[in-house]
Amino acid sequence: MTVGEIKNLLDCEVITGEDLLDVEVRTACGSDMMSDVLAFAKTSCALLTGLCNPQVIRTADMMDIVCIIFVRGKKPDEAMIEMAKENNLPILSTGHRMFSACGLLYESGLRGGKMDA
């Protein structure tokens, strides 16, 4: 799945990264706890979250997350958008709630990746 397909499936507004819609997304992770994201996210992973603070962008940077999707219509501030631009990280915002957003992507074939032993 690509970032652009996620945008269409979830009716997202593209906050930044209009030029990165072709980027490939292999897995996804939905969490408001960055601790969990740091412990469990896989490579080429999209992050769905309802948490909206600069540490979300930082966590995404550290984990090489390929796309952030803010749920429930959350929107990042200018400073966060700047950070995302520096890291070539596309940010989308959807009106869907977490459960529905995850469900719609799952239904279209996106998975969470294998569990660690």
Partner 1 sequence: MPNLMELKYQVSNEDFTRAGEASSDVKKKLKQLGVSPDVIRRVAIALYEGEINMVIHAYGGEITVTISEEQITMTLADRGPGIPDIDKAMQAGFSTAPDNVRNLGFGAGMGLPNMKKNSDTIDISTEIGVGTTVVMTINL
Phi, psi of 81 (to 5 degrees): -65, -40
- 8 or 87, CB closer to partner 1? 87
Residues that bind partner 1 (CB under 8 A): 32-36, 38-39, 43, 51, 53-56, 58-59, 61-64, 79
Least separation, in Å, of the C-beta of 107 and partner 1? 27
Least separation, in Å, of the C-beta of 43 and partner 1? 8
Distance from C-alpha of 106 to C-alpha of 117, rounded to nearest angstrom: 23
- 5 or 61, CB closer to partner 1? 61
Least separation, in Å, of the C-beta of 39 and partner 1? 4
Q: Which residues pair with 69 in a beta bridge?
A: 48, 92
- 7 or 37, CB closer to partner 1? 37
Least separation, in Å, of the C-beta of 97 and partner 1? 18
Distance from C-alpha of 48 to C-alpha of 91, rounded to nearest angstrom: 10
Q: Count of CB atoms within 10 A of residue 61's CB?
A: 15
- 62 or 111, CB closer to partner 1? 62
